[in-house]
Amino acid sequence: MSISDIQNRAEKLRDEIWRLNKAYFIDDKEEASEDVRDALKQELIALEKEHPEIITPDSPTQRVGAPLDGRLPKIAHLTPKESLTDAFSHEELLDWIDQMERALGKENVDFAFLTELKIDGLNVTLIYERSGSHYALLRAVTRGNGIQGEDVTHSVKTIESVPLSFTTGRKDGPQFIEVSGEVYMPKSALDELNSALEEAEKFANPRNAAAGSLRQLDPKVAAGRKLAIFCYELGKETTDALGIETQQELMEFIQSCGIPINTELKLLKSLKDIETMYDNFQKKRDNLPYDIDGIVIKVNSKQRQRDLGSTAKAPRWARAYKFPAEQKTAQILDIQLQVGRTGAITPVAHLSPTALAGTTVTRATLHNADEIERLDVRIGDTVVVQKAGDIIPEVVKVMTNLRPDNSRAFYFPHHCPSCDGELIRPEGEAVHRCPNNNCGAVRQEKIEHLVSRYAFNIEGFGKETIDELLEQELVSDAADIFYLTYDVLIGLPLFKEKKTENVLSAIEGAKHVPLDRFLFALGIRHIGRETAEILAQRLKWPKSELTIEKDQSMGVQATLFGAEKTSVKINGITMADIAITLQAQTTEDLSVIDGIGGVVAESLCSWIAEEDNRALLHKFENAGVIAVQLEGSYAPQTLTGKIFVLTGTLPSLGREEAKKMIKDRGGKVSSSVSKKTDYVLAGEDPGSKYDKAKELGIDVLSEEEFTTLLQ
């Protein structure tokens, strides 16, 4: 493979991993199993290891956890959450031991490991606050992106095994005790739950059921579903404050507080013993009352853990030793092309129905023409697919020995299956594209994307409805949704009076949309939800106090007979200002933003350079669409886009406390002063950073001025 092919493959892998993560962690749907996601991630890790120049800041190998949903309040973690590095073989464990030997010296690696079961659930951190001699549950937060998670306190409090308060038996202790664990649903509880649900509503596995229950807005849902929790870690500050010296002691402390732990713990001193435990639980995992997907191995000594430290996202002193991926076979009945919103043409294998992960799988993506050629996939072939879920499994290989005599090779067509336009394959890309912006399939996908849950979230627009609107030429692009009227909708076969009223209300309510959702809704290539959120936070968007006319009543009556208008003021960002802001960006400016990179920067700049796209923004503006920039729930985001450098000793604030205050409010802390620095927070004996700030004319703040800025 050429370097351009490698870059394209890595890009595809990143997109697919984040798409599957979004489905798994956010939508609670298993489009592909954890085994499939692990396989994809391992392939990406291998590519990036061999070609480190292709690593991007937004690669899933550089991040922890999954994107945040947005429905629940976002809360900053007291300490960043790390993700364990996976191991899938004995050889990988040997490599891990070798890495620790080289880091510590071979004579210092003769230590014990605490091994525990890897529970397949939803990662949650419990925060307990001290009041006298007792600790009370203050908050429960999902792992989220590792820096922020979602506040699920309302649901966690319904889990009977979670103590709402406890005492440590110590006279003193830290102000907060931070405990991490895994919320899960016992298999028996899943069976009971599914027995009461319609077939289409049944959960595929306990993990999905636990996540879906915990993240409901109504705590009564979680209360009725018999959730449980196993805890296994304390925050670093908690561990240090309590003087805990081993992982085993840490687990004993958690248990002494009345917090549940999994008692299948073993203190082992050799890889042979670890392999024995691994093999034993692999054999009896199906008989356990809860789901596991491997074992976790941790260096027992806290001092050794401190010596080994962590990478940017994972501790060097621990490994998740995963069980092998489940694999089954299916026959390829046909290969058809699917057109995406960017015009990308994706070949999809239609499979003989195959039961995997509690659902029947009938389709699998084949990515692109190169992938079909690489695998030598033919219609009629029997292929190996790894364990997957609701929609898309991964084709691992073709079983050529089972190839029938009448198998047919698939030749990638030259024309779009929707508009019959000639396909192109841009130089350096592996994907064929339909360049026709008026292609019906492309327009359909763009509109479906705009009204989807994480974009404008407008209910009432299913695929059939959008199909009908396009066929009757009632809409031509995504912005036309906001120009629909009662007379237009009531004439459609799928619309009755009540649905028309509800849809018009939904359209009106969607006109004031959070900025990150709007940027995501535009469907710009490479800009997913995470990237859209970064752009919304990091670019300098001009806000205006806008006066809008709003109906005092909504729906059919307002539409037919008019309604009394009232003037409402709103702090928002106009479409004109969005266009001006995006046009002012250069690829160089965007590329240096954490989480953006050159590929996203080029895509965004190319998009806004097109006259049709600027006209689309103008069309949104004429329809009354306004973007609003919501403040985070943890602290006002008053420092969004601001870069700080700290130097010297602060009189009363600790450096870590000051950094946390900046990050909680949306700012970034850098280690060096440059032209991009907005403020230098200087204490006593500031040194060369202070001098450079003065030289560059950067604002230097005292601690008092800094605290005033935060107000």
**DSSP-assigned letters across all residues of 636-675:** --TTTT-EEEEESB-SSS-HHHHHHHHHHTT-EEESS--T
**33 vs 682: CA distance, rounded Å:** 50
**565 vs 28: CA distance, rounded Å:** 41
Q: In angstroms, how far is CA 122 from the centroid of its own chain?
A: 14
H helix or E strand, kind and range, residue 676: none
**689 vs 674: CA distance, rounded Å:** 10
CA angle 587, 588, 591 (to 5 degrees): 80
The amino acid present at 67, given as its one-letter code, is: P
| Marked catalytic residue, from 29, 41, 74, 118 | 118
**528 vs 439: CA distance, rounded Å:** 22
Helices (H), 376-457: 440-451
**Cβ-contact 363, 326 below 8 angstroms:** no
Rounded to 10 degrees, what is the CA torsion of 75, 76, 80, 81? 0
Report the DSSP beta bridge partners of residue 550: 566
Which pair of structure tokens corresponds to residue 507?
A: 């359209």
> pLDDT at position 636, please?
66
> pLDDT at position 557, please?
38
H helix or E strand, kind and range, residue 633: none
**175 vs 191: CA distance, rounded Å:** 41
For the chain, domains (ranges, CATH) are 3-62+326-409 (2.40.50.140), 74-322 (3.30.470.30), 440-628 (1.10.150.20), 643-710 (3.40.50.10190)
| DSSP state, residue 421 | P
Write down the pTM of the prediction. Answer: 0.46
**205 vs 33: CA distance, rounded Å:** 10
DSSP symbols for 210-235: HHHHHT-SSHHHHHTTT-EEEEEEE-
**Cβ-contact 124, 181 below 8 angstroms:** yes
H helix or E strand, kind and range, residue 169: none
> pLDDT at position 230, please?
95
**657 vs 395: CA distance, rounded Å:** 49
Please choose, from the candidates 223, 144, 131, 134, the residue with its C-alpha nearest in 3D space to the C-alpha of residue 180. Answer: 144
Report the DSSP beta bridge partners of residue 32: 388
Please choose, from the candidates 88, 46, 86, 94, the residue with its C-alpha nearest in 3D space to the C-alpha of residue 319. Answer: 86
Helices (H), 158-270: 187-195, 206-214, 219-223, 236-242, 247-256
Phi, psi of 229 (to 5 degrees): -145, 145
The amino acid present at 385, given as its one-letter code, is: V
Strand-pair category, 292-299 with 382-386: unpaired
- The Cα-based distances of 694 to 43, 235, 515, 697, 709 in angstroms read 48, 39, 35, 5, 19
Please choose, from the candidates 263, 321, 282, 255, the residue with its C-alpha nearest in 3D space to the C-alpha of residue 94. Answer: 321
Q: Is 118 a catalytic residue?
A: yes
Helices (H), 399-462: 440-451
Instruction: Return averaged pLDDT per consecutive 10 residues of the chain, 711 residues in all.
Output: 84 81 62 71 85 80 55 83 87 90 79 93 93 88 87 89 85 89 92 83 82 83 88 92 94 92 94 93 88 94 91 88 75 91 88 67 84 91 65 73 87 90 87 87 89 87 85 88 90 84 89 90 87 84 72 40 56 89 91 82 92 93 85 59 86 78 78 86 82 89 88 72
Report the DSSP beta bridge partners of residue 680: 645, 700
**Helix, strand or coil for residue 300?**
coil
**Helix, strand or coil for residue 617?**
helix
- The Cα-based distances of 543 to 113, 530, 539, 570, 575 in angstroms read 55, 22, 12, 10, 11
User: Within 10 Å of residue 367's Cβ, how many Cβ atoms?
Assistant: 22
**Cβ-contact 125, 179 below 8 angstroms:** yes
**489 vs 556: CA distance, rounded Å:** 11
Please choose, from the candidates 446, 450, 603, the residue with its C-alpha nearest in 3D space to the C-alpha of residue 521. Answer: 450
**Helix, strand or coil for residue 487?**
helix
Q: For the chain, give the longest Cα–Cα distance.
A: 85
Q: Up-side HSE of residue 428: CA atoms within 13 Å toward CB?
A: 4
Ramachandran region, residue 218 (left: φ > 0; alpha: ψ -120 to 50; beta: rest): beta
Rounded to 10 degrees, what is the CA torsion of 44, 45, 46, 50? 100
Residues 6+ apart with CB under 8 A from 405: none
The amino acid present at 405, given as its one-letter code, is: D
Alpha-carbon radius of gyration of the chain: 27
Please choose, from the candidates 228, 249, 409, 407, the residue with its C-alpha nearest in 3D space to the C-alpha of residue 331. Answer: 407
Rounded to 10 degrees, what is the CA torsion of 302, 303, 305, 306? 120
Please choose, from the candidates 659, 648, 637, the residue with its C-alpha nearest in 3D space to the C-alpha of residue 687. Answer: 648
Report the DSSP beta bridge partners of residue 643: 668
Locate the DSSP E strands across 477-564: 512-514, 544-551
